[in-house]
Amino acid sequence: MGSPRSGTSILTWCLGQHPNILMQEESSWIGPFAVNLAIGHEIGSARGEHSQLSALDIRRDDFMAHFGKSINDLILSHRRQFEINLRSTALQDSSQVHEGFQIARSLSGYGREDSPPPQSSRSSSSYAFDDVIKFGVGAGSERFRREGWSYTEQQFTWTIGQSASGQKLADWTVSADAEEFTAVIPVELVKSPGDLKVELETPKAISPKSMGVSADERLLGVCCYELSITKQSDSKSRWVDGTPEYSLYICGLRKLFPGALFIHIVRDVDSVVRSLLNFDGLGEGSLVANEQQAYEYWLRTVNACLEAERAYGRQIVHRLQYSDLINNPESALRSVLKFLGERYVPACLEPLQLRINSSNVPASFHASDPQTDPSLVEQAMRLSTEVEKTPQPLEASPAASDAMEAAFNARVQFVATLASEYRRAQKENVERIDRKESRILRLKEDVKTKDLVILSLQKKLSRRPVEILKRILSGKSRR
């Protein structure tokens, strides 16, 4: 997130070269969708216990997070089709192809596709990529068993006890609605000779008897239904979206994706304004109409990101200077990947070899529109310097978080009432037109009546001289 022309696209492509991150350059629809979803929840709970969502006690955060999970699953499940579509486009226009911009990469060799580990002799108990091992009675998992599995049930196996040997690869928090968990096995372990041992450990294991809920003395463990081992290039478990306008939807996106992390890439305002005024990436004209709008756009998006930094802290929002990405790319990407909890992969540097989405700003170009408000320019320059020199806050601010929540609620209310306000204004306008037309009709009737009166008077006046003359001739005129 960040102002447009701040490097959101190139950073997205860099992260998309990581074998565990799927690149989504710009989506644009998810932010507004979050607002509309909140409106939907408001409609669905507007009448208290007589509304469906209120009656079911479905809170807004749960409601939105459920939709967010579906979006996440949908995007990741269509990764292959996404790759096929881009390959098809590349075949039609080879000028759009560059080795540094790939959709699928293998973790093995950090960017080079490697063949699966050699299988000396495919015995009945050896693993292979894409194998799915189903546990339970008669499911065939027994051939893989070495130790530690116990009490096989009809469709699954319980692991019991706890262990502390080997290298820990993942931490999982198991809940009642848990469906699937994944872990990345380091390539050096996959390539090393010997058997791959998968061991699930249960910290602080306890028995139902010790909990006082039953006489069962077995230690609580993990319920295992199936196990599959796939190559990392086929199992991207995360995605990155580079839509800069999402800077204005951070609170709503957090509700859709509670586990989302945000990277605020910030660039000096002078460079952004110059780029905004010269960029026409889709042939639809500049992103802004003038310099005033460019400064306003930068201020609006950067202020929104800074507010998110204050509200959520460094655990959720990571600030990255555009200058660091360009001048010290490896260090910058290492810091970003560390923030994301991903290992550093050199392939993430490859997109930086090619300049993309350039505004091609002429060297002679100077942004100095006399119509631009000088106080606005001063405000933007001051904030740009401050962001460059001042580190982001260490801790989250509850007050800032409350402010973002209030702003989101106000936005939901505003958008929710737009339709009704429009209908009300339309009705008032129709009524006003009706009143005006009615008055016009009344005035026309008045005019018609007065015309008749005038016509009658004119007729009387036209006869009056004749009557006076007759009276004079007859000697009856008044003296």
pLDDT, one tens digit per residue, over 30-84 is 999 999 999 999 999 988 888 999 999 999 999 999 999 999 999 988 887 887 7
Which pTM does this prediction carry? 0.63
The pLDDT score that the predictor gives to residue 113 is: 34
Helix (H, G, I), strand (E, B) or coil at 52: helix
Q: Are residues 149 and 13 in the same domain?
A: no
CATH number of the domain that residue 104 is part of: 3.40.50
The pLDDT score that the predictor gives to residue 151 is: 58
Torsion of CA 89, 92, 94, 96, to 10 degrees: -40
Q: Are residues 54 and 107 in the same domain?
A: yes
Q: Is 85 a domain residue?
A: yes
- In this structure, which amino acid lies at residue 150? S
DSSP 264-328: EEE--HHHHHHHHHH--TTSS--SSSSHHHHHHHHHHHHHHHHHHHHHH-TTTEEEEEHHHHHHS
- Pairing mode, strands 149-152 and 132-134: unpaired
The residue behind tokens 């192809």 is: 97
- 277/289 Cα distance (integer angstroms): 8
Q: Is 421 a domain residue?
A: no
Print the domain residue range for 385.
8-113+238-400
Q: Is 412 a domain residue?
A: no
Q: Are residues 91 and 148 in the same domain?
A: no
The pLDDT score that the predictor gives to residue 415 is: 85
Look at residues 174, 195, 229 and tell me which one is the last residue of a structural domain: 229
Q: Contact at 8 Å (CB) between 267 and 142?
A: no
Q: Is 188 a domain residue?
A: yes
How many structural domains is the chain composed of? 3
Q: Are residues 106 and 246 in the same domain?
A: yes
Q: Are residues 388 and 310 in the same domain?
A: yes
Task: Check residue 393 and report its DSSP letter.
Answer: P
Provide φ and ψ at 319, rounded to 5°. Answer: -90, 135
Q: Is 1 a domain residue?
A: no
Q: Is 426 a domain residue?
A: no
Q: One digit per residue, pLDDT tens: the chain, 479 residues?
A: 999 989 999 999 999 999 889 999 889 999 999 999 999 999 999 888 889 999 999 999 999 999 999 999 999 888 878 877 777 776 666 665 555 566 655 444 333 333 333 333 344 556 666 677 777 777 777 666 665 555 566 666 666 555 445 566 666 666 655 566 777 676 666 666 666 666 666 767 777 788 887 887 777 777 777 777 766 554 678 999 999 999 999 999 999 999 999 999 999 999 999 888 887 654 556 778 899 999 999 999 999 999 999 999 999 999 999 999 999 999 999 999 999 999 898 999 999 987 655 555 656 656 667 889 999 999 999 999 999 999 999 899 999 999 999 999 999 988 888 767 777 777 788 888 888 888 888 888 888 888 888 888 777 777 667 677 777 777 654 55
- Pairing mode, strands 132-134 and 223-224: unpaired
Q: Are residues 378 and 461 in the same domain?
A: no
Q: Are residues 164 and 208 in the same domain?
A: yes
Q: Are residues 31 and 106 in the same domain?
A: yes
Q: Are residues 44 and 86 in the same domain?
A: yes
Q: Is 126 a domain residue?
A: no
Q: Are residues 34 and 54 in the same domain?
A: yes
Residue 409 tokens, joined: 């609620």
Q: In this structure, how many other beta carbons lie within 10 angstroms of the beta carbon of residue 22? A: 21
317 bridge partner residues: 262
pLDDT, one tens digit per residue, over 185-243 is 766 666 666 666 666 667 677 777 888 878 877 777 777 777 777 665 546 789 999 99
Q: Are residues 248 and 225 in the same domain?
A: no
